[in-house]
A and B are shown apart, each in its own frame.
Chain A
């Protein structure tokens, strides 16, 4: 009896050793460095602090990413140059952009609270903002990802079920155009549901995604009432000749496959004091961006002067993207083109 038990113990130990060996091998195969970095539990507060302080792990990650990106970019540029010739336009462009690549990890500024507003009366549905956003934020050209969706909604009923985002001509007099991107909600359901805390809200109100942590479960896409999040269903591709070299590690660095991304209010610009690309590019000046805490900022003026509303207030997420009906319509309404409103 005694001998048998000892025998089975020995057997058990043997099996355990083999199992441990196999799991060790498989862990090493997944890259041990990465494993060590990620094998620590984190709190969202830590992540926010990390993003805020200088010399943080985030900054280190940004530098590593920058080096890698440069390498990749130069390799791509080499390819272009050898196939199209050293003094071709594309080659020069690619070289220039590679040299300019900079990945920042700028933290939020104290006391700033960003917000954006859009004049529904002005917007003509030209979709230039969506296009500028693609270029500015290095969005995948092969996946049809666009962070901004422009909805065409019947003027008399602002109901999203009747929205059409695949219209071909605009503006139409009986329609309003409602661009929708991430609303940077005050109570974002998307960050709440993330099982691995890969996404959170920064103190300045920008909701960010850490692409290195996201596991691609797509729960946040399911939770967002504004359809703001996009998933990289395949490896995203951005031609180096169109690469925006001004990058932020939590913003527009080129994404990996199978991670979620979304509008960050151009974190790489706004944290340095600029405005988002969509605001800059809008031909009719429909967009307003600024610091909600600053009494002299345009966003405050707009809200106080016109009054603003948000989409789907019933979702209870308290968006910080406002809509308002400004003073003028562009283009002017032509008489006789209004829809019958039933009286």
Chain B
């Protein structure tokens, strides 16, 4: 069948490739993720069902460990992490279209897919966090309420999501027909998308950065730190996805230079991120005169009241340094396996840095000096896992057709196209 010009056919192509053309292992993965996702959803409904589904009086967010002292927990923590991953999806695009790297052009679409999956995860995480999600939908027309950072965040996130969906669709559309991407599309696309990527993470940091009520967030370094570590974890996840794609998709090959250049970005971002952490440590432990900030920093770095926070923080510092050192060793960065190892370490390090250790210390001790520890409950972890399963599912569903289209264009005659 010859591929013809309509976008609808492209969508059909994506759906067909995503759902109908997989091997056994692929379907098993889909079903596994679906089960986790459904279980998470079931748990969430169990938490929420009181107000929304049955009008019953039991249930509610009280089933989580959140409280007035710690009103934001694991959901918002991972929200921050995935916004970063989405933002960094653009790295491949920049390498490909700003610097014109041919090898990156083959994989740039993966960055868009990752951004789509990550942002959907992010939006779902907010949805499970807020108390009355349906009301939130109804109130959408209020949106351009530009005084609230949450609204800004919603606007840039959905904007970025749309942008990446378009980017992905267009890419698949052209490559599928074995045509190169038109300049008319890609130049404006990358000019808008690149600042948008920084923008989504900056706005996400601004949600907390300027709240006088939470001294530990009152650091002008918060937003840059968000962006820096995002540009370590996002590309690391991209590399992991590439590696898996190479292993499990017949005929898909990526040049080693892609791995190596991405590693430069990862190591560079890690160094900047670690440097920011050092700078904050200096300010807090040497000179700050704000007692609340000091108390919160002690929770964060020394583990008063919440030992797990300190463990995560030191995990970030330790693994971050380890990843940098490994990354600069020639033995490691000259082999694919070595680079993947550094990527995995980086992901763990940034998860430790960007999740609980950013959200929780701002609430312990709270604004009135009250210490109310927070440990995510099994319920919250289950719901978070469910949301992540949906994200990975979307990643999987979209990545395969996208890469197949790329293969049609770049690996002609490799026998990959049906």
Contact = CB atoms under 8 A, between A and B. Distances in A.
A215 B132 contact: yes
A223 B367 CA distance: 10
B150 A193 contact: yes
A223 B141 CA distance: 24
A317 to B, nearest CB: 8
Interface string A166-199: 0000000000000010000000010011111100
A222 B71 contact: yes
A311 B360 CA distance: 24
A222 B208 contact: yes
A235 B49 CA distance: 12
A326 interface: no
A195 B67 contact: no
Given A215-B136, A257-B60, A229 B68 contact: yes
Nearest to B149: A193
B368 A149 contact: yes
A161 B365 contact: yes
Nearest to A29: B134
A224 interface: yes
Interface in A291-343: 314-317
A151 B213 contact: no
B138 interface: yes
Interface string A6-20: 001101100000000
B28 interface: no
B338 to A, nearest CB: 42
Nearest to A39: B141
Nearest to A36: B138
Contact of B132 (A5, A11, A216): A216
B209 to A, nearest CB: 12
Interface string A235-264: 101000000000000000000111100000
Interface residues of B, number: 55
Interface string B376-398: 00000000000000000000000
Interface stretch (B1-9, B98-106, B244-252, B304-312): B1-9
B147 interface: yes
A221 B71 contact: yes
B329 interface: no
A160 B62 contact: no
B67 A226 contact: no
Given A8-B8, A42-B142, A222 B131 contact: no
Nearest to B137: A30
Given A34-B138, A41-B141, A216-B131, A235 B57 contact: yes
B139 A180 contact: no
Interface string B180-223: 00000000000000000000000000011001111000000000
B318 interface: no
Contacts, number: 163
Contacts of A226: 213, 367-368
Interface string A199-241: 0000000000000011111110111111101111111010000
B72 A258 contact: no
Given A195-B150, A219-B150, A189 B211 contact: yes
Contacts of A38: 135, 138-139
A225 B295 contact: no
Nearest to B133: A215
A225 B366 CA distance: 9
Given A192-B148, A231-B71, A160 B368 contact: yes
Given A194-B148, A214-B132, A221-B71, A235 B8 contact: no
Q: Which of B72, B135, B150, B207 has the most CB of A within 10 A?
A: B135
Q: Which of B9, B139, B154 has the most CB of A within 10 A?
A: B139
B130 interface: yes
Contacts of A315: 212-213
A342 to B, nearest CB: 18
Contacts of A42: 142
B68 to A, nearest CB: 5
Contacts of B22: none
Q: Which of B4, B66, B133, B138 has the most CB of A within 10 A?
A: B138
Q: Which of A143, A159, A235, A317 has the most CB of B within 10 A?
A: A235
A233 B372 CA distance: 16
A123 to B, nearest CB: 16
Given A30-B138, A233-B62, A258-B132, A192 B147 contact: yes
B203 to A, nearest CB: 13
Contacts of A214: 131-132
Contacts of B136: 196, 215, 217
Contact of A195 (B9, B51, B148): B148
Nearest to B134: A30
B292 interface: yes
A25 interface: no
Nearest to B61: A233
Given A159-B291, A225-B367, A231-B131, A256 B142 contact: no
Interface of B: 4, 6, 8-9, 12, 50-51, 57-62, 66-69, 71-72, 129-139, 141-142, 145, 147-151, 154, 207-208, 211-214, 291-292, 295, 362, 365-370
8 contacts: A8-B6, A39-B141, A149-B368, A214-B131, A215-B136, A218-B131, A219-B150, A235-B51
